[in-house]
Each structure stands twice: as structure tokens, then as C-alpha cells.
Amino acid sequence: MSGGVDSSVAAALLRKEGHEVVAISMRLYETAPRSDRSCCSPDDMFDARSVATRLGIPFYVANYVDAFRERVIDYFVEEYRRGRTPNPCVACNNHLKFDVLLGRTKALGGDWLATGHYARIEHDGERWKLLKARDLTKDQSYFLCGLPRELLGRIRFPLGDMAKTEVRALADEAGLPTAFKPESQEICFVAGTSYRDFVKEKLAQEDVRPGNIELEDGTVLGQHGGIHEFTIGQRRGLGIAWPEPLFVKRVVPETGTVVVGTKAELSSTGLIAGTCNWLRWDTPPGPFDAEVKIRYRADPVPCHVSPRDDGAVEVTFRDPQKAVAPGQYAVFYDGDEVVGGSVIEMAISGAPE
């Protein structure tokens, strides 16, 4: 329980169904920046505790500061150092919530772990499936692409069928102190500052790589203060006057070069992604058609997926896609079902370079 409205209502619903519920808040970083828009600060722990008291369930704070630093914050900084765009929420789900916390659930004698995520896990008579939330505007299945397939039956998302408005109404009705808390939208551990400042502070001096901003043909348009400030598809903050809008196309960490181009140049025909976490099968029987989401806020688009022998996957879009960012996740869907997901290693450009 983060101290937000979603996990509060998830706990309340389970309690209402008569389950024996134990609330756990994860403490993830040392000194929480004071902000209303993130979770896991001491204030949020206080809120979570109030909710647990209100629901009459035991409440504990689990200290996962070390694991979070190693597996989320260090990863986050390292990805920016490599000129990539990390997804810390996926990392947190993979390594904290659905790994150590799931382990803790068993160690406490629990049958399953529930969270306030907007997604569904259902059994169709043959196997467990991870599905999009009923409320597609809140769907968080993208962030859950790394769930362990063999443990899907140990995980529940009580809010999967609900709309956010219903959740808030339920919280209000139940008198939960978190009913009207604002949404958490920032990356929790950088709340109160910008992710650029956060990363720069964590990077070793020699890893802050200033360099040129160039066009694909090598024309130097300007300089920048460090590649960690750039993400594929980024338009703002380039500081360059040019007849057409320019976007970040590639980041070359070795030289500190940020390559920019026009919107048309941003297109990719496909991508290569790393070892895939499959949720439908142990390993896929062969190439298949699916839809792919290349970032959380992207719509799923049709594609062809070719698993390679080394576990990586090659993805070909039916229509070219813009701003494929290494470090983000490619999550494959069949309708509502999450088939699998893996980290994007590189974009495949249609035009020869």
C-alpha cells in the first residue's frame, strides 16, 4: 500500500470480500523529497497506515531501500549514461513489487499479493492471462510486462474492472483518508526536481558527456551539456533555430553526439528488443502477428514478431513508427492480452543510413 487512493481501495475491496489482508508499504529511498505528486514518502506511509487502521488490518513498512537503489535507481542512471531512455516503473515492478514483495508475501504465509494496479489477471480454464484494465485510459498493463508467468496466479489486481472515478467514489464512501489525494505522475524518487538534475547529480563527472548536436549528415548545429538530457523524439530543449521542427533521432554515447532530424526522419520500420518475458507461453512456437506498444503513452500498433534463437525478438511494424527509444519496453498484445514484453535495444530504420 503506497498511501495512494488505488492501493487503499484495493485493500478495502479485499477486506469487504472477507479476505484476511495484511498491508505492506514499501520504503524505497532514503529521504523522500516532499511532494504531493509521488508516493512512498513518510507522509504517504502515514496515509497508508491510517487506511490500514481504518480497515482494521495489520500494517507494516518493508525496507527495500537497498534493493531499490541497486535495481531501479542505479539502472535508471546507467541507462541515461548509455544514452537510453529507462523505464523505472517496469524495473520496480520486475525487481521489487513482483519479486521481493511477492517473496515476502509467501514468507508471511500469504496466498497472493494484491496491488492497486489497473490491469487484470484472469484464468480462462487453461492458463492465467495478464489483460489490459477495463478502463483503457488507466490501463497499466504495459508496466507489468515483466511479471513472472508461473506466478500470475499469485497476483491479483482488484481494480482491474473499475474506472478511476468509481475507485475514488468507493474510497470516499469507505471514508478512506486517501480518497482525494492527487494522482502520482512523477517518477517517485526524482519528485521535487527534474530527472535531468537527478541523473546529473548521480553521474560521475566523466560520465556527463557534453557534445555536438548534429544532423545525420554531420552538420553541427550546436552544443549540449550532456547526453543524459536527451530522449529519442524529444523536441524541446534543443536550443536550435531551424526552418523545420527538429527532434532527437539518436544519441551516440561514445562521442557524446546527439543526432537530430525532422519528424519524417524519426520513423522506424521496426525494432530489435532483448530477451523477452513471455506471458502467454514459455517460449513462442514461432513468429506471430500482434500489436506492440513502444512506450506507455503510445497506442498499440500492428506488427510482426520474430523470436530469435538467442531469446531476442525482431519486430516489424505494419506502418512505420516514430521515436522508437532504446531502453523503453516493447510490449506485445493480442487484443486485451499481454503476450510478452522486452526492452528495446535498437530501432530499425527503413531508409539505409
Partner 1 sequence: MRAWLDEPSVWAANPSSIHAEGQRARAAVETARRQVAECVGGNLADIVFTSGATEANNLALRSLPHPIATTAVEHPSVLSAAVPLLTLPVDAHGRLPAPDAFVADAVARGAKSISVMLANNETGNLHPVAEIAAAARAAGLRVHCDATQAVGRVPVHALDLGVDLLSFSSHKMGGPKGIGALWVDPDTVLDVLIRGGHQERGRRGGTENVLGAVGFGAAAAALADDDLPRIAALRDKLWAGIALIDARARVNGDPDARLPNTLNVRFPDVDGEGLLMNLDLEGIAASAGSACSAGSLEPSHVILAMGVPEREARGSVRFSLGRDTTDDDIDYALERLKMILARLRAPGWGAPP
39 labelled catalytic: no
Q: Containing H/E element for 79?
A: helix 74-81
Catalytic residue among 39, 40, 89, 188: 188
Taking CA atoms, 238 is separated from 80, 138, 159, in Å, by 17, 31, 41
Count CA within 13 A, CB hemisphere, residue 2. Answer: 21
Judged by CB under 8 A, the chain residues 122 through 161 that form the site for partner 1 are 148, 151, 154
Q: Which of 47, 79, 99, 207 binds partner 1 (CB under 8 A)?
A: 99
Cα–Cα dist 279/149, whole Å:
5
The site that binds partner 1 (CB under 8 A) totals a number of residues, namely: 34
Q: Which of 17, 56, 107, 236 binds partner 1 (CB under 8 A)?
A: 107
Task: Check binding of 41 to partner 1 (CB under 8 A).
Answer: yes
CB of 118 to partner 1, least distance (A): 22
Task: Check binding of 286 to partner 1 (CB under 8 A).
Answer: no
Compare residues 68 and 143 and give the one whose CB is closer to partner 1: 68
Task: Check binding of 1 to partner 1 (CB under 8 A).
Answer: no
**Beta strand ranges found along the chain (DSSP E):** 23-27, 59-63, 113-114, 119-123, 128-132, 155-156, 211-215, 220-224, 247-252, 257-261, 267-273, 277-278, 288-293, 301-307, 313-322, 329-334, 337-348
Q: Which of 19, 27, 54, 200 binds partner 1 (CB under 8 A)?
A: 27
Catalytic residue among 92, 145, 276, 303: 92
Cα–Cα dist 34/199, whole Å:
18
Nearest Cα residue to 7 out of 114, 121, 105, 109:
114
Task: Check binding of 25 to partner 1 (CB under 8 A).
Answer: yes
CB of 139 to partner 1, least distance (A): 24
145 labelled catalytic: no
Cα–Cα dist 53/183, whole Å:
22
Which are the catalytic amino acids? 92, 188
The footprint of partner 1 (CB under 8 A) covers 22, 24-25, 27, 32, 40-42, 45, 49, 58, 60-65, 67, 95, 98-109, 148, 151, 154
